[in-house]
């Protein structure tokens, strides 16, 4: 079966990327399967779990609820784009390790995107603000406590740097 | 969980979107924020042949704060309205309702018009629109028409918009009274989930503390969000004493015909309807009184 292909140009983690995509290809499938950026996880595929969160023009969104064709002309940041240029972990990523903010790791890329977006707009969030920011991300391992601690630690480390 | 194939057009203007809707009729669907439509397409509950993407139409993204109304472009993101202090000052119910809508990620993408056009009977923005008597401006190739919320919502996930019409803007009435207050609350399994029952109210008081205007409504207890203008009219002239509020809430709950499901029985929903209606009326009264 042949589907119409649409040309897209998207900035992904600072690099311009172009592709021809069928309209029904979700943004997360394009990122993972075509660009091989498999750090973004795909969980429920219908907007419940938050594992596929990416930043669209700096704001966290669910990449399973967008078609790749809609990203045309926009800026996407995936979890791969959070690390430092030399590939070492960001302050937030390192804080997740430090506080055991992950176990199985499935939700982690979505948690990192959601909490990094929070810290970008609010460097000193309250616990309630952190819990609200990750409210759209499900974690079945940690009980969320260590994730909240990770974000608090990252905020503190960034402030005292 | 992958959408079935469809044809896609990114409309550059509202005129182009209307033309596409006219050409493709019932087979076309408008894609706004996609936070309800895309999951339904992924689950193949709907399979539109054409999607008309309105996300890149600048004319549909605006907020105009005027004396009598706040006018919001249909494709304005929920997060934009949520952050806008000028809207919160004039139509406080909007921010109060948005606090219950989904999560950060969905509010960043979800639109005000999309939520109204989707017309989920449990959704927050349709209830706010119904309670405030918001007006929906619809555009088609033939021109525009404006419908009151009471006429716009036609049933579960159904509106009176024709297949060739696109929601263009929503006019939210501003209450000019000095002493006015509003409130929104709901019960859901988890915060951000669909409400089992939601309630919203807005009241105005004169300097002696007498109610001069009142409106309230309930979501999740019928095919559309319900407002109760006749019952609310009985509150005018009272001091919104707890007893008057309880009477109004009981009368509203008695008019509801909620369905029952695994999560909440019919009886429980009717109980929530009464309790939550009374709660928002009391909160609205407190906020009006504290000014």
Say which CATH number the domain at A139 has. Answer: 1.10.150.120
Q: Is A49 a domain residue?
A: yes
What domains sit in chain B, N to C, each tagged with a CATH number?
7-53 (3.30.43.10), 58-173 (3.30.465.10), 179-289 (3.30.390.50)
Facing B38 at nearest CB: one of A53, A65, A117: A65
Task: Check whether residue A58 and residue A32 sit in a common domain.
Answer: yes
> Residues A143-152: pLDDT tens digits?
999 999 999 9
Q: What pLDDT shows up at residue B102? A: 95
The tally of domains found in chain A comes to: 2
Q: Is A153 a domain residue?
A: yes
**Which 3 state secondary structure label does DSSP give B121?**
coil
Q: Is A72 a domain residue?
A: yes
Look at B25 and B107; give whichever has higher pLDDT.
Answer: B107
Q: What pLDDT shows up at residue A44? A: 94
Which of these three, A40, A55, A81, is where a domain ends?
A81
Q: Is A45 a domain residue?
A: yes
Task: Check whether residue A74 and residue A47 sit in a common domain.
Answer: yes
Which of these three, A81, A114, A130, is where a domain ends?
A81
Name the closest residue on chain B to residue A29, using Cα atoms. B2
Task: Check whether residue A75 and residue A96 sit in a common domain.
Answer: no
Q: Report the range of poorest mean pLDDT among B55-64, B81-90, B259-268.
A: B259-268
Task: Check whether residue A55 and residue A34 sit in a common domain.
Answer: yes
Q: Beta strands B211-219 and B226-227: pairing type?
A: antiparallel
Q: Is B42 touching A (CB cutoff 8 A)?
A: yes
Q: Is A131 a domain residue?
A: yes
Residues of A in contact with B79 (CB under 8 A): 59
Q: Is A121 a domain residue?
A: yes
- Candidates B83, B85, B14; CA nearest to B53 is B14
Half-sphere exposure of B113 (CA within 13 A, CB side): 27
Mean pLDDT of chain B: 96
Residues of B in contact with A67 (CB under 8 A): 3, 8, 34, 38
Q: What pLDDT shows up at residue B191? A: 87
pTM (predicted TM-score): 0.96
Cα separation, B74 vs B82, whole angstroms: 15
| Phi, psi dihedral angles at B175 (to 5 degrees) | -90, 125
Interface test with A, best of B20, B48, B104 (most A CBs within 10 A): B104
Q: Mean pLDDT across the stretch B181-194?
A: 93
Name every residue in A having a CB less than 8 A away from some CB of B.
1, 3-4, 6, 22-24, 26, 29, 44-47, 50, 53, 56, 59-62, 64-67, 69-70, 72-73, 114, 117-118, 132-133, 135-136
Closest CA of chain A from B8, distance in Å: 6
Task: Check whether residue A9 and residue A58 sit in a common domain.
Answer: yes
- Candidates B19, B17, B5; CA nearest to B53 is B17
Task: Check whether residue A24 and residue A69 sit in a common domain.
Answer: yes
Cα separation, A62 vs B134, whole angstroms: 29
Instruction: Give percent above pLDDT 70 in chain B.
Output: 99
In order of B37, B77, B92, B219, B278, the CA distances from B130 in angstroms are 22, 20, 15, 10, 18
Q: Beta strands A75-77 and A5-12: pairing type?
A: parallel
Task: Check whether residue A65 and residue A133 sit in a common domain.
Answer: no
CB spacing of B106 vs A136 below 8 angstroms:
yes
Q: Mean pLDDT across the stretch B22-39?
A: 96
Which of these three, A38, A56, A81, is where a domain ends?
A81
Residues of A in contact with B55 (CB under 8 A): 70
Task: Check whether residue A11 and residue A73 sit in a common domain.
Answer: yes
Q: Which two tokens stand for residue B137?
A: 């401006």
Task: Check whether residue A97 and residue A144 sit in a common domain.
Answer: yes
Q: Is B246 touching A (CB cutoff 8 A)?
A: no
Name the closest residue on chain A to residue B105, using Cα atoms. A61
Q: Mean pLDDT across the stretch B156-171?
A: 97
Which structural domain range is residue A111 located in? Answer: 91-160
Q: Is the pLDDT of residue A95 over 70?
A: yes
**Which 3 state secondary structure label does DSSP give A153?**
helix
* Distance between start and end Cα atoms, chain A: 56
> Residues B94-147: pLDDT tens digits?
999 999 999 999 999 999 999 999 999 999 999 999 999 999 999 999 999 999
Q: Mean pLDDT across the stretch A127-150?
A: 97
Q: Mean pLDDT across the stretch A30-45?
A: 97
Q: Is the pLDDT of residue A2 over 90?
A: no
Instruction: Give all strands of the β-sheet with B50-53 in edge-to-edge order.
Output: B7-10, B50-53, B28-31
Helix residue ranges per DSSP H, chain B: 14-24, 37-42, 78-83, 85-90, 92-98, 104-109, 112-118, 124-132, 149-152, 229-233, 242-255, 266-289
Query: CB of B127 within 8 A of CB of B217?
Result: yes
Who's near B112: CB < 8 A, 6+ residues apart?
Answer: B72, B74, B76, B77, B78, B81, B125, B170
Q: Report the range of poorest mean pLDDT among A132-136, B11-15, B159-163, B256-260.
A: B256-260
Query: CB of B211 within 8 A of CB of B193?
Result: no
Q: Mean pLDDT across the stretch B193-215?
A: 96
Task: Check whether residue A120 and residue A77 sit in a common domain.
Answer: no
CB spacing of B43 vs A46 below 8 angstroms:
yes
CB spacing of A47 vs B35 below 8 angstroms:
yes
Q: Is A86 a domain residue?
A: no
Residues of B in contact with A61 (CB under 8 A): 105, 108-109
Q: Is the pLDDT of residue B290 over 80?
A: no
Q: Is the pLDDT of residue B192 over 90?
A: no
Q: What pLDDT shows up at residue A103? A: 96
Which residue's entry shows tokens 């309250």?
A126
Q: What pLDDT shows up at residue B57? A: 98
Instruction: Give percent above pLDDT 90 in chain B.
Output: 95
Task: Check whether residue A119 and residue A64 sit in a common domain.
Answer: no
Task: Check whether residue A152 and residue A107 sit in a common domain.
Answer: yes
- DSSP letter (8 states) at residue A42: -
Q: Is A98 a domain residue?
A: yes
Which residue's entry shows tokens 């009977």?
B121
Q: Mean pLDDT across the stretch B233-260?
A: 96
Closest CA of chain A from B203, distance in Å: 29
Instruction: Calculate ∠ Cα B201-B116-B264, nearest 5°.
Output: 65
Q: What pLDDT shows up at residue A161? A: 74
Q: Is the pLDDT of residue B289 over 90?
A: no
Cα separation, A120 vs B39, whole angstroms: 29
């Amino acid at each position: 079966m042949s589907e119409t292909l649409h040309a897209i140009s998207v900035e992904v983690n600072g690099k311009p990327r172009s592709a021809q995509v069928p309209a029904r290809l979700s943004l997360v499938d394009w990122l993972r399967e075509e660009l091989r950026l498999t750090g973004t996880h795909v969980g429920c595929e219908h907007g419940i779990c938050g594992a596929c969160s990416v930043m669209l023009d700096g704001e966290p969104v669910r990449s399973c609820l967008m078609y790749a064709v809609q990203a045309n002309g926009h800026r996407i940041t995936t979890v791969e784009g959070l690390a430092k240029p030399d590939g070492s972990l960001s302050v937030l990523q390192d804080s997740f390790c430090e506080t055991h903010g992950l176990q199985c790791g499935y939700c982690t890329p979505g948690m990192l995107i959601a909490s990094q977006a929070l810290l970008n707009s609010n460097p000193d969030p309250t616990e309630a603000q952190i819990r609200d920011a990750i409210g759209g991300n499900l974690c079945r391992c940690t009980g969320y406590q260590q994730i909240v601690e990770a974000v608090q630690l990252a905020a503190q480390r960034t402030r005292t740097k | 969980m992958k959408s079935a194939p469809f044809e896609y057009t990114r409309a550059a203007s509202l005129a182009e979107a209307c033309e596409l809707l006219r050409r493709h009729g019932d087979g076309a669907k408008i894609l706004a924020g996609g936070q309800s439509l895309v999951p339904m397409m992924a689950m193949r509950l709907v399979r539109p042949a054409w999607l008309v993407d309105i996300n890149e139409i600048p004319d549909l993204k605006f907020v105009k704060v005027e004396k009598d109304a706040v006018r919001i472009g249909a494709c304005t993101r929920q997060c934009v309205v949520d952050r806008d202090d000028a809207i919160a000052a004039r139509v406080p119910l909007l921010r109060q309702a948005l606090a219950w809508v989904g999560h950060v990620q969905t509010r960043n993408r979800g639109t005000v018009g999309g939520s109204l056009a989707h017309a989920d009977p449990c959704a927050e923005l349709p209830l706010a629109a119904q309670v405030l008597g918001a007006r929906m401006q619809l555009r088609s190739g033939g021109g525009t028409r404006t419908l009151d919320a009471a006429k716009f919502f036609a049933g579960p996930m159904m509106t009176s918009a024709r297949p060739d019409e696109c929601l263009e803007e929503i006019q939210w009435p501003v209450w000019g009274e000095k002493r006015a207050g509003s409130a929104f609350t709901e019960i859901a399994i988890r915060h951000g989930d669909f409400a089992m029952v939601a309630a919203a109210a807005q009241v105005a008081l004169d300097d002696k503390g007498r109610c001069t205007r009142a409106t309230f409504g309930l979501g999740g207890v019928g095919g559309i969000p319900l407002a109760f203008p006749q019952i609310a009219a009985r509150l005018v002239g009272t001091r919104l004493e707890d007893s008057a509020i309880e009477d109004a809430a009981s009368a509203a709950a008695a008019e509801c015909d909620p369905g029952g499901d695994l999560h909440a029985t019919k009886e429980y929903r009717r109980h929530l309807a009464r309790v939550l209606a009374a709660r928002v009326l009391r909160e609205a009264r407190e906020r009006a009184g504290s000014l």
